[in-house]
Amino acid sequence: MTTDKPLGAGLIAFGIAGIYLTLQISVRTFNDDPGPQLFPILGFSLLILCGLGMLVVRHKPAGGAEDAGATGGFGRGAAMLGLMVLYSVGLWQVGFYIATPVMLYAFYHVIAGPRRRVWWRGATYAAAVTAAVHFVFGTFLNTLLPTGSLF
């Protein structure tokens, strides 16, 4: 039995509830500040998009060595949780411009798996996402990105 459809519906419901609760936040901000609602709304919108994708796309089990079942999924999940903790420490210590490309490459390394992993593709993704986040938040929205305490 596949759990894609119920999980997709759950993600959509969670995303809608999160957006509703986020819109209840009322904080005065400066004219050029996007405010505290921006990041949660973006995150919950991505959850809704992923949930819709899970409802629409039919899942075919790949099988083989790459599909390690619950144990492989648990290991990847634990690795992603550890990387998120390291990323938050990295943002605090060395700032956005050092921590983000390094951790994005590490995320790619975990997500791609051993057979699809290519070093230059990971480096390209890391550089492109870092540049896009800098452009959108640092330049377009004029938001201060973390600078770090060491540098």
- Whether the predicted pLDDT of 137 surpasses 90: no
**Distance of alpha carbon 109 from alpha carbon 105, whole angstroms:** 6
Tell me if 109 sits within 8 A of 82, measured CB to CB: no
Does residue 110 share a domain with residue 80?
yes
pLDDT of residue 94: 92
* Other residues' Cβ atoms within 10 Å of the Cβ of residue 75: 12
Does residue 37 share a domain with residue 75?
no
- Whether the predicted pLDDT of 61 surpasses 70: no
Does residue 108 share a domain with residue 42?
no
Per-residue pLDDT of 44-57, as tens digits, reads 898 899 889 888 88
Domain residues for the domain of 14 are 1-60
Does residue 108 share a domain with residue 150?
yes
Domain count across the chain = 2
Does residue 145 share a domain with residue 77?
yes
List b or e across 80-111, with b for residues whose CB sees 16 or more CB atoms inside 10 angstroms. eeebeeebeebbeebbbebbbbebbbbbbebe
Model pTM score: 0.60
Does residue 77 share a domain with residue 141?
yes
Does residue 82 share a domain with residue 18?
no
Does residue 112 share a domain with residue 51?
no
SS3 content of the chain, % helix, strand, coil (to 5): 70, 0, 30
Residues whose CB is less than 8 angstroms from the CB of residue 112 and which lie 6 or more positions away in sequence, other chains included? 118, 121, 122
